[in-house]
Every structure is written in C-alpha cells, then in structure tokens.
Amino acid sequence: MSYKQISTTRRSPYLGAFVDGIDLSQPLTKETVAEVRSALLEFSVLFFRNQSVSDSEHLRFAAYFGELDTPHPVFDCKEDDPRLTVIESKGRAHDAEHYWHSDVTYQEAPSLGSILIARKIPDSGGDTVFASMYAAYDTLSSPIKKMLESLTAQHSIERGWATSLRMQPNGEKRLQKLKEAFPLMTHPVLRTHPETGRTALYVNEYYTSRINELSEPESEGLLRILHHQSQLPDFQIRHTWQIGDVAFWDNRCTQHYASHDYGAAHRVMNRVTIVGDRPYFKQVFRQAAWVSTPLVWGCRGVGKMR
C-alpha cells in the first residue's frame, strides 16, 4: 500500500515497519491517523524512531485509535494518570514475567494494541521480539488448521503472574484477588481479525492453560506444537531499543517477548493500551461444500478461500 502522509520501511516479510515523516509530539490530522491505522493493519507492528514524546502526548496519540484501557492489574502506573503503565526492571528478584504472549488474553476483551515508549534502556540487551500469528497460522498444515477450527482454550491470569506475585510480600493474597477479578476465560484457538478478516493463531505459553475439548495429555501435546509454531524465528523481528523509540503493535495478531538479558541494569518503558473486543473465529463458507464433496479438500482453488 502507498502512503502520502507517512513513509514506511518494511522490516521483514511477515511483520514490522519503521514509520517516518511523523512527529508524535504534535497533533495529527485525520488523514495521518488513517494512514497509521492502515499501516498497523498491513505490518502488525510499527516503530517510530527519534521521537520526543511527553506523557500527555503519548496518551493523545494512543487515543486516536480507540478508548484507552484502565490500569494494568499488575504493573505500576503513573499517579497522575493511571492509564499510563510503567514497566520497570532493575534487578528485581520477582522479575519472572518473560514469556511469549499476547497481552491480557485472560480478559474477556483483550486489548486492541499497545503503544510502548523507551524511557531508560540498558547499555546492552533488553530487546523486544515480535512474532506474526498470521504467519504462524498460515504455515500450519491443512489437517491441523481444520482441527483447530472447532477448539477453544482457557486463559488464566494465575498461569501468567503466579510466580512473580508469590515472590512479593502479600503476593498470595494479591493473586487470589486477581483470580476473583479475572476468572478463567475461554477464547477460540483461532482468531479472526475484526478489521482484516485474516486468521491468526490465538494461544500463548504465558496465559493459555489448556484446550477445553481435549484430554489433559492431548491438550498439553497440542499446545506444545502450537507454541513451537508461534515462536519460530522465521516469523519474528527483533527490536533493539533507543531512547525515544515508540512501538505500536496489534495485539490481535501478534505475540511478543521482552528479552531479560540485562541483569540488574535499569530499564523503564511506558505503555498505553487501547481497549479491544472479544475474540471470535468466523469460519469461511466452505464446510458444507467439503462435507458433501470431500475430495474437494485437495483442490488448490478451493484451498485459497482459507
């Protein structure tokens, strides 16, 4: 897609682009906002370099794309505006939340996306890696895709945060309150993107606890396969942060991993999250035709309807 208000440089065949020609500290025109949204849908993760953005400007930019989410249930937040999350690491003993994930999938309506700004970074390390769940799905075999269409999975805040919280004072009590606030949530294993219509793999090793329709051993085995698929280096980009970098990712079709390879060095990121909607999977009309004429499954022309 060609853009008039911004310029983009693709970072990989599957996801990611640098965006230039835009100053996020300034108000944006409707035309520019529309192009940034289109670029997000095209590339799934956008990176804006050499930005000088205040907290209020960070919030303003995020608000162009939807309602801003309430404070994160675990991370710290700014006192003057709790919608601005502070993700800070400095040799914390309880810093155990480093796994591949899509954000807050234990919620009924996980976030649309997040906008992250680097405020303080280590001298080395601390990269963030992003992966395309479109590519993870697209490269599965047809029999596995067909099986996944009817499956749902449980997502648990305890699975993601129990280890970190239990290392903290009163952590067990805090964890129990979070489990009450966020009971086990079921989402489809495959997710239809509400804007692009594309299918993405929608399980992650941090929050997905089991597949509902399978026995425990079957669930564990299939999740191992799907987690491996979602974490293949082929579908990833790795971002090495500079102060002032801004990343905007589509949480509906990506996963990310914050590399914890900087020891006790100080790293501070600020994040604003945009409210999303409840995941769903919409089957493309093909099932009836394939049931009545099963040999069509091998036809390349019909397969493209996927």
- Residue labelled with tokens 């996980």: 110
Task: Please provide the DSSP assignment of the chain as one string.
Answer: ---SS-EEEE-SSSS-EEEES--TTS---HHHHHHHHHHHHHHSEEEE-S----HHHHHHHHHTTSPBPPPPSSSEE-SS-TTEEEEEESS-TT----S-B-TTTTSSS--SEEEEEEEE--SS---EEEEEHHHHHHTS-HHHHHHHTT-EEEE-HHHHHHHHHHTSTTHHHHHHHHHHHS--EEEESEEE-TTT--EEE---TTTEEEETTS-HHHHHHHHHHHHHHHT-GGGEEEE---TT-EEEEETTSEEEEE---STT--EEEEEEEE----------TTHHHHHHSGGGGG-HHHHTT-
Rg (CA), the chain: 20
Catalytic residue among 103, 155, 187, 250: 103
If one counts every other C-beta atom within 10 angstroms of the C-beta of residue 243, the result is 12
Q: Among 256, 299, 291, which residue's Cα sits nearest to residue 16?
A: 256
101 part of the active site: yes
Looking at 11, 58, 101, 193, which residue is catalytic? 101
**Which tokens go with 104?**
């807050």
Contact 110, 251 (CB under 8 A): yes
Q: Is 256 a catalytic residue?
A: yes
Q: Respond yes or no: is residue 60 known to be catalytic.
A: no
What is the rounded CA–CA span in Å between residue 77 and residue 167? 20
Residue numbers annotated as active site: 101, 103, 256, 271
